[in-house]
């Protein structure tokens, strides 16, 4: 039985507000700037906007460090502006999901200000405090942003846990009072009319009691402690409680960002019978081009690894839970630079990647600029970068560790988060039409060739191709609900798969290489093509649909039985 739902049939667009559109010339994108561009997004076919944090924040991690969950950051505007944005979106039949960041708050949040005052303060247990051990931190965990995950606080002679920046202390979900505060805040936003939440690193909220040291065979100063806080012991209990007290009361969309989650856990999180969440963001396919030493250790992607990973999620969640589909976001490099070819084949490879993704089962997420083929950037100096993760890593490796700066910069060019955060390229005027002032982060110099104005005018652009992809999804239920089957698992250049639903079939063939490739459908794949739904190169007829010759980065979708 296929359970239909609006959030399965939607296409989501992620806005990173700081970089989207600046309405007042201060160099920072803002809420009024988003309102100005709603018709652009409606024209693209977007149903839902996921808005990265706009809450009050000292901005240590670009808004993911929240000092007041019920106020708007001054740089972004006012609560009245936000209410106007919601009203304007709802008038256009678009929905808004907000970022829920409750694994941690800012150290400037009033809860933490109270918590650090004394060990018997009523807010003390809203955070995770521990005494030192042998004159050092309570354990050997490493922060995601380098260094220790613990910060010493002189006032009470104890350390607090911060899995991210030291200005992002972790909230203590073991405390029922804290959980009730979070649920109350969620209801406040839902009662204002938001249509759901994207939940930041939400599978980190349950920590293993005792917070033990992580295994450290190489004797490093700090090591990742993920096994003690990823999908922790009480996580499903917390979600069941959140669902019962908040989520089940509203017709909303929920997606949990869950680093390190596997298919079996994701089934539990997203199975509607368990009443937890609707879908998860998993990162497995985002780690396939990382070497043994993590994200900055670059290695080429083997397409067979991508097939194995995507297929396991497609088949594992089918009929049980639901996938979210993405190839880039505010934390990941630009997909056309990473998985395509952002030079000679920028347009066709961006279209191919869009086709590959939008024809899978799940809810597709378009990250701002993806629909016009925005690319990674290469700033000459580390001084031009703003991201805390990049700056901390550079300091640790180059300044303190003596690594070759050129080699470290190469990793930043490929994997740095600022690749996704350069201002949106609206037109070919100064600062790409993003701002009349000095942009908070430099604009990618290729904005004269790559911009929305040009893309909207050119009927053969990536933008119009995405409009077709989104429209196809709205007119062919098979794209949303069809069952997935991989073809040619061992091919290093072709990614092909079928979708089947209610007697219909789709055949999706994509060439992930810059070479012309020929192949034949295996005999055990039954498919009778009736029409070409979409292709990123001109296609003449479908006479012989079992033998294919695909041009570089070519993508085709056939519909048949």
Residues annotated as catalytic are 200, 257
Residue with tokens 């006032």: 155
Q: Are 178 and 171 in contact (CB under 8 A)?
A: yes
- CA dist 203 and 191 (Å) reads 25
State CA 94 to chain mean position distance.
Answer: 20
Say if residue 181 is exposed, middle or buried (CB neighbours under 10 Å; 0-12, 13-18, 19+).
Answer: middle
Distance in angstroms (rounded) separating the CA atoms of residues 463 and 270: 31
How is 225-272 classified by DSSP, letter by letter? Answer: -GGGTTT-TTHHHHHHHHHHHTGGGS--EEEEE-TT--HHHHHHHH-G
DSSP 201: T
Tracing tokens 């192949």 back to the chain, one arrives at: 519
Query: What's the DSSP call for residue 390?
Result: H
Residue reference for tokens 């040009």:
454
User: What is the number of other CB atoms lying within 10 angstroms of the CB of residue 381?
Assistant: 7
Nearest to 132, CA basis, from 154, 100, 112, 117: 154
What whole-number distance in Å separates Cα of residue 530 and Cα of residue 508?
Answer: 14
Contact 422, 413 (CB under 8 A): no
Residues 63/54, Cβ–Cβ less than 8 Å: yes
CA distance 341 to 549: 20
Q: What is the DSSP string of 383-446?
A: GG---HHHHHHHIIIIITT---HHHHHHHHHHH-GGGGTSPP--SSSGGGGS-SS--SSPPPGG
**Nearest in space to 472 (alpha carbons), one of 541, 550, 557, 538:** 557
Q: Torsions phi, psi of 274, nearest 5?
A: -85, -15
Q: Which string of DSSP letters, residue by residue, matches 32-44? A: HHHHHTHHHHHHH
Helix (H, G, I), strand (E, B) or coil at 336: helix
Beta-carbon contacts of 380 under 8 Å, excluding residues fewer than 6 positions away, are: none
Q: Which two tokens stand for residue 293?
A: 């030493």
Token digits for 175?
């405390």
* Rounded Cα–Cα distance for residues 152 and 505 (Å): 59
Q: What's the CA gap between 138 and 159, in Å, rounded? A: 7
Q: How many residues does the chain have?
A: 561
The residue assigned the tokens 């037109």 is: 427
Torsion (CA) 74, 78, 79, 81 in degrees, nearest 10 = -140
The two beta strands, 196-199 and 95-100, are parallel
């Amino acid at each position: 039985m296929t359970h239909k739902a609006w959030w399965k049939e939607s296409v989501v667009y992620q806005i990173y507000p700081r970089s989207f559109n600046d309405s007042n010339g201060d160099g920072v994108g803002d809420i009024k700037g988003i309102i100005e561009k709603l018709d652009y997004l409606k024209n693209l076919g977007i149903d839902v906007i996921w808005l990265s944090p706009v809450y009050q924040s000292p901005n240590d991690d670009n808004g993911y460090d929240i000092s007041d969950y019920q106020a708007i950051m001054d740089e972004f505007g006012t609560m009245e502006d936000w209410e106007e944005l919601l009203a304007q979106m709802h008038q256009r039949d678009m929905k808004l999901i907000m970022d829920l960041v409750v694994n941690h708050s800012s150290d400037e949040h009033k809860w933490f200000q109270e918590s650090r005052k004394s060990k018997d303060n009523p807010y003390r247990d809203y955070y995770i405090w521990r005494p030192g051990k042998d004159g050092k931190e309570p354990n050997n965990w490493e922060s995601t942003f380098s260094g220790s995950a613990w910060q010493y606080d002189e006032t009470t002679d104890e350390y607090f846990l911060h899995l991210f920046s030291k200005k992002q202390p972790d909230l203590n979900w073991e405390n029922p009072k804290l959980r009730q505060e979070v649920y109350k805040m969620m209801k406040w936003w839902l009662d204002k009319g938001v249509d759901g939440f994207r939940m930041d690193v939400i599978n980190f909220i349950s920590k293993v009691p005792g917070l033990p040291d992580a295994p450290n065979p190489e004797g490093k100063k700090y090591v990742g402690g993920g096994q003690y806080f990823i999908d922790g012991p009480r996580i499903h209990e917390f979600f069941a409680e959140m669902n019962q007290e908040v989520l089940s009361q509203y017709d909303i969309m929920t997606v949990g960002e869950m680093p390190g989650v596997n298919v079996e856990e994701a089934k539990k999180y997203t199975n509607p019978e368990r009443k937890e969440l609707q879908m998860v963001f998993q990162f497995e396919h985002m780690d396939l081009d990382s070497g043994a030493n993590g994200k900055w250790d670059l290695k080429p992607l083997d397409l067979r690894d991508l097939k194995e990973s995507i297929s396991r999620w497609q088949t594992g969640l089918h009929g049980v839970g639901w996938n979210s589909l993405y190839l880039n976001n505010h934390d990941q490099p630009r997909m056309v630079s990473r998985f395509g070819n952002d030079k000679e084949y920028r347009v066709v490879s961006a279209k191919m990647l869009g086709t590959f993704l939008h024809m899978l089962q799940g809810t597709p997420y378009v990250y701002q600029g993806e629909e016009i083929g925005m690319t990674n950037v290469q700033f000459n100096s580390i001084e031009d970068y703003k991201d805390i993760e990049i700056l901390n890593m550079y300091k640790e490796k180059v300044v303190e560790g003596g690594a070759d700066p050129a080699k470290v910069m190469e990793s930043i060019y490929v994997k740095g988060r600022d690749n996704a955060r350069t201002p949106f390229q609206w037109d070919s005027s100064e600062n790409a039409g993003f701002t009349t002032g000095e942009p908070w982060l430099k604009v990618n110099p290729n904005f004269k060739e790559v911009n929305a104005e040009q893309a909207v005018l050119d009927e053969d652009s990536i933008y119009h191709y995405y409009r077709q992809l989104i429209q196809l999804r709205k007119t062919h239920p098979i794209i949303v609900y069809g069952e997935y089957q991989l073809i040619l698992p061992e091919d290093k250049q072709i990614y092909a798969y079928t979708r089947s639903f209610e007697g219909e079939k789709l055949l999706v063939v994509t060439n992930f290489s810059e070479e012309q490739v020929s192949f034949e459908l295996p005999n055990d794949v039954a498919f009778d093509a009736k029409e070409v739904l979409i292709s990123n190169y001109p296609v003449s007829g479908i006479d012989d649909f079992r033998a294919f010759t695909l041009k570089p980065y070519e993508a085709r979708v056939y519909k048949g039985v």
